[in-house]
Amino acid sequence: MNNLDLSKPILLYGSNISYFTGKMENYFRVKEISYEQKVLNYPKFERIMKEKVGIHQMPAVELPDGRWMTDTTKMIQWFESKIPENKIIPEDPVQAFFAFLLEDWADEWWWRNAMHYRWHYSEGAHFASRHLAEELLSSIPLPIWMKKILLTRRQRNGYTTGDGITKDNLKTVEKDFLKLLENLSNIFKKRKFLFGNRPSIADIGFSGPFFRHFALDPVPLEIIRQKAPFVLSWVSNLWNARVSKIDNDFEEGIPKDLEPLFREIGKVYLPYLSANVDAVKQNKTKFDFKFGNVFLKNARYSLYRVWCLKELRDRYSKLEEKEKTQVEILLKKFGCWEPLWRDKNLPLMDNQEEELPFRADRKMLGVNE
């Protein structure tokens, strides 16, 4: 029961414009795990997911033995443990620690920016709402125009204006994206992937925001074309990469040009996780946040992201003493050490997310839970 039968394709349920479904597709392709992408219509999909894995979110994976899975981060770790060849997790534990830190940032921080560009601009909202209405809601007996309105309203209330973005701070959210493009361009003009000419879990993480959002939605795609074409090449390089065919190794240690990314994590993302911890402790479902150049008003709290912070800490705690010292020195240099440990006790539920990837306790943002 614990083994993985790869003689039949794995089924991947989700939309083909979904952030996390796109991430999982990139992983399966790079790792050459054969899969079939399937669409399940609403409301059936929601019902089945709640029954099989406890919550409803995309993507879901069904294994040939009939088991269902959720959560890309934990699913990828599970597949990596079952298929040890052609690993995408660096063998050097220090590199692996930093690769997972980038993956977490890509999953949890860039979601809001991606949703903003898709749903704020009518060009993106028209395209995405029509696509989703036809792809996922075809069994609901309402006219397309009404489904489009309902979808757009749901996504904005859940993930953009309902998650910290206002008319006054919208530009700070967009500037944050431009900074990311600048930092990534400096890397991808020199090599194909983040840690070398070989893809890692960090690249897979970034395929979430980029593959089905920034490099697909009309407004951010044009920005990338004009300002960061190397980033566009990286999106295709990853989609085309097959780890089994790549002889190159990762670069030694932490490449210098990744430092600006880690400094952003220390300046904005980890303080955000800590502000989220405070909000959860006080049961404030909405909270304000101002750090670095980013400013959010009434951002949604997330119980899931408290667990993400715990995962980062656990990853550090499991290192050998010598590696701990190396990681600590680097985290301190990047301004990440203090915010990583700022909150002594994390407000987690008992055994929260311990059954992942087969059962989940919380959605990332609890919209329509």
Ligand X SMILES: N[C@@H](CCC(=O)N[C@@H](CS)C(=O)NCC(=O)O)C(=O)O
Contact residues for ligand X, defined by CB under 6 A: 18-20, 57-58, 71-73, 107, 363-364, 367-368
Which of 12, 254 has the CB closer to ligand X?
Answer: 12
* Min CB(334)–ligand X separation in Å: 24
Phi, psi of 190, rounded to the nearest 5 degrees: -105, -30
Contacting residues for 251 by C-beta, under 8 A, at least 6 apart: 191, 195, 196
Rounded CA gap, 352 and 314, in Å?
Answer: 14
Nearest partner of 285 among 111, 118, 163, judged by Cα: 163
DSSP per residue, 156-185: HHHHSGGGT--TTTHHHHHHHHHHHHHHHH
How large is the greatest C-alpha to C-alpha distance in the chain, in angstroms? 62
SS3 9: coil
* Min CB(57)–ligand X separation in Å: 4
Determine the Cα angle at 260 with ends 240 and 265, to 5°: 90
* Min CB(33)–ligand X separation in Å: 16
* Min CB(198)–ligand X separation in Å: 23
Which of 72, 129 has the CB closer to ligand X?
Answer: 72
* Min CB(73)–ligand X separation in Å: 5
Which of 19, 295 has the CB closer to ligand X?
Answer: 19
* Min CB(111)–ligand X separation in Å: 8
Contact 281, 349 (CB under 8 A): no
* Min CB(106)–ligand X separation in Å: 10
* Min CB(93)–ligand X separation in Å: 23
Residue type, 60: A
Which of 267, 305 has the CB closer to ligand X?
Answer: 305
Which of 254, 265 has the CB closer to ligand X?
Answer: 265
Distance separating the N- and C-terminal Cα atoms of the chain: 30
Which of 157, 172 has the CB closer to ligand X?
Answer: 157
SS3 69: strand
Helix ranges, the chain (H): 19-31, 44-53, 72-82, 93-108, 110-119, 122-136, 144-159, 170-188, 201-209, 218-227, 229-240, 259-264, 270-281, 303-317, 321-333, 337-341
Which of 50, 242 has the CB closer to ligand X?
Answer: 50
Which of 265, 331 has the CB closer to ligand X?
Answer: 265
Q: Residue 3 region, left (φ>0) first, then alpha (ψ -120 to 50), else beta? A: beta
